[in-house]
Homo-oligomer: A and B are copies of this chain.
Amino acid sequence: MPELSALFQPQSVAVIGASPNPGKLGHVLLKNLIRYEFKGQIFPVNSQGETVLDLKGYKAVSDIPSPVDLAVISIPNQFVYPVVKECAERGVRAAIILSSGFGEMGGEGKKSQELIGEIRARTGMRVIGPNCMGVYNIAHHMNATYFWELPRQEGPLSFVSQSGAYGGIFFHEIKKRKLAISKFVSIGNMVDLDHADILEYLKEDKETKVIALFVEEIRDGKKFIRTIANLHKPMVALKGGKTEVGRRAALSHTGSMAGSYEVFAAMCKQYGIILAENSDEFFDTIKAFLSNDGIMPQGNNTAILTISGGPSVITSDTCQTIGLGVPELDEKTKEEIKPLVPPFAALSNPVDMTPQINPANYEAVVDKVMKQSYIDSCIAINCGLDYQEFAQAFVTARQKYHKPVHAYSIANQKIEAIFEEHHIPIFSAPERTATAMKKLAQYWQFKQSRAKTVDSTEVKSSATLKDYLLGKLQEPRQLVARTILREYGIPCVTEAFATAEKEILLFARQAGYPLVLKAAGDGIAHKTEKGGVITGIQSEDRLKAAVAELKNNFGKNAELLVQKMVKNAIEIILGAREDTVFGHVILVGIGGIYTEVYKDVALGLCPLDKTRALDMIQSLKGLPLLEGFRGLPVVNKEMLAELTVKLSSLIEANPQIKELDINPLLINAQGAFAVDTLLVV
């Protein structure tokens, strides 16, 4: 854990750029420290050494007579580097650089940012920014930000934002939702401290129970994963730079190379970060985690209880669309509810109690629904009548059954007051009650799978790969790849590489027909399109003709690959590649040219365990294709998951591999067979 006390609990702060002019941001910064009642010493620094807001000013940090823990810097970019240098030499322990014009603009700015990085590395002074909005720590009464209207009530939420302006949205939205925070850290261009460093600090921070993240770029993915892998607090993230246009914007914003969103999303799933699609979902999810007194769903099924038909219909639609279960009530429960509601009420789930229900019956109906073991959470919708019995029923049942409740309610003051008092969150659209509940269910699901995770065992690196890299092997790369796959227990098709017809015929006599013959040279990509693949060879005559054809097309000495044909098989793609941010990624999906267009693959980060591998397979849209669709063979998903884990182990043991694709991996009733492989080292 980085020692960040100088950043979060400094005893003394120098405000560099603390101008007497109230229009300047440096003035705002100083004023904020004072107004939020910072308890330590504050030293304004400005070019004239002027007194500001009754505090004695200094011309330079080195003029300050006592030790300075933290420098907050708000001066034009060209002056920043010398000042940072001076701070470091003076023994300042941490600096927050709010000024802009560094990595995000390239050229001089980028160079200056690099120089600052060097100082930090040499002296050990920790730096936040540049190009950020500062740091706020309520418990320490420290508002070292440009924001002059921040909440003062302390709460369990901390927010790490790469974007400063998004900090503005954050404060606006949490105020709207009446949520309270502990710390806000705007990290900007991350010349030194990044998401992982702050998370490492928040992990141990007793005041922080829930963490929100705005991410444009994770620079060191492995460091990030190391940090979060054991961070047992809910983390909710929003990602900027998901698309090409967004990445273009991010690059000019914080100089961020946003990286692949698909890999980021896979990382979140694997390590339990709840990823929001957009700002509304982000703040709703944060609110959900901070509500219900910590009661969380222990499963994926919800009950919708309402007196408002239409809104419950669209909430039901949302549930099904996002995959939150809405199981029908059992007949016995329906029978019990029937006498408690008007005859035209709906009993199935959604339960529409109708506005005509006797308010005295709310409690019994809600109780009978929420007590069911197959109901894990509850959504309360009321656009109608303001009976406190409605709200009270959910409060009572929640406490009794320890299942969370989300609410939608409009223009019902009594109801809303009761919900708020008992921390039942009210959302601003009926659909949003469901989306936020799904996020909680996802977290529950993650915790379940984490509980099952076993550490991967030590696996030896490949001797074949080592020899190949040393130039000791003369075989085609495909053959090397096959040998390595077999070393790690991934079966390959029966095959032989050869140039001579004689050898090929010999193989055929042993292996039997049907066969496939391919041009095998390392340099031949997209073989099928170039006529380099002949399938369905049933006889020696056809085989001879095929050999002649390929030699005619690809040269007399062309290396050929003859394979036993795998019949009645499903094409799978199983591969690994190195992501620039998060390291090796495993992908599994439906193979074949048609489905390539549909990009139906699931990603997971190395190392993978079987639970996660099965999850990945289950998440494929083309799952029915593995389950005997229209007479297709049934794929043993357990086996495919095991192969996926084996590939992960292979990659873990041989991290020099940049890319290893098995495409297709053919699976039929007889087993799995790697047929084509691509290896990049």
Contacts and interface: CB of A to CB of B under 8 A. Distances in A.
A281 to B, nearest CB: 10
A320 B245 contact: yes
Interface in A594-635: 594-598, 600, 621-622, 624-625, 629-632
A388 B326 CA distance: 49
| Range class of the A interface residue count | 35 or more
Given A317-B240, A317-B245, A383-B169, A214 B624 contact: no
A602 to B, nearest CB: 15
Given A77-B344, A216-B310, 19 more contacts: A101-B344, A102-B344, A105-B344, A109-B344, A163-B313, A164-B310, A165-B307, A168-B383, A169-B311, A169-B410, A172-B383, A253-B313, A278-B314, A279-B431, A528-B631, A529-B631, A593-B632, A596-B629, A597-B629
Contact of A249 (B100, B166, B249, B312): B312
Nearest to A186: B310
Interface in A625-669: 625, 629-632
A304 B316 CA distance: 35
Most buried by B among A216, A304, A383: A383
Contacts of A248: 316, 328, 348
Contacts of A317: 240-243, 245-246
Nearest to A595: B594
Given A313-B216, A346-B252, A168 B384 contact: yes
A119 to B, nearest CB: 21
Given A165-B384, A166-B311, A309-B165, A172 B411 contact: yes
Given A278-B429, A280-B280, A348 B252 contact: yes
A590 B592 CA distance: 15
Contacts of A216: 310, 313
A310 B529 contact: no
A238 interface: yes
A244 B308 CA distance: 19
Contacts of A377: none
A100 B168 contact: no
A134 interface: no
A342 interface: yes
A254 interface: yes
A319 interface: yes
A248 B309 CA distance: 11
Contact of A598 (B172, B249, B350, B621): B621
A557 interface: no
Contact of A526 (B163, B166, B252, B630): B630
Contact of A310 (B214, B319, B342, B600): B214
A168 B308 contact: yes
Contacts of A510: none
A358 to B, nearest CB: 13
A77 to B, nearest CB: 7
A321 interface: yes
Interface string A145-170: 00001000000000001111110110
Contacts of A69: none
Nearest to A623: B597
A200 interface: no
Interface string A115-158: 00000000000000000000000000000000001000000000
A102 B304 CA distance: 23
**Which interface residue of A307, A313, A320, A356 has the most chain B CB atoms within 10 A?**
A313
A245 B346 CA distance: 13
A637 to B, nearest CB: 16
Q: Which of A101, A279, A526, A528 has the most CB of B within 10 A?
A: A279
A677 interface: no
Nearest to A102: B344
A250 interface: yes
24 contacts: A101-B342, A101-B343, A104-B309, A163-B310, A165-B307, A169-B310, A240-B310, A240-B313, A242-B321, A243-B320, A244-B320, A245-B319, A245-B326, A249-B309, A249-B348, A279-B430, A280-B432, A526-B630, A526-B631, A528-B631, A529-B630, A594-B594, A594-B622, A597-B621
A318 interface: yes
B629 A593 contact: yes
A248 B597 CA distance: 35
A514 to B, nearest CB: 13
Nearest to A430: B279
Contacts of A104: 309, 344, 346
A161 B241 CA distance: 39
Nearest to A536: B536
Contacts of A278: 314, 318, 429, 431
A354 interface: yes
Interface string A293-332: 0000000000010011111111011111100001010000
A352 interface: yes
A309 B248 CA distance: 11
A243 B172 contact: no
Nearest to A593: B630
A546 B312 CA distance: 58
A537 B165 CA distance: 68
Nearest to A238: B314
Contacts of A594: 590, 592, 594-595, 622, 625
A601 B232 CA distance: 44
Contacts of A243: 316-317, 320-321
A327 to B, nearest CB: 9
Contact of A254 (B250, B309, B630): B309
Contacts of A624: 597
A194 to B, nearest CB: 16
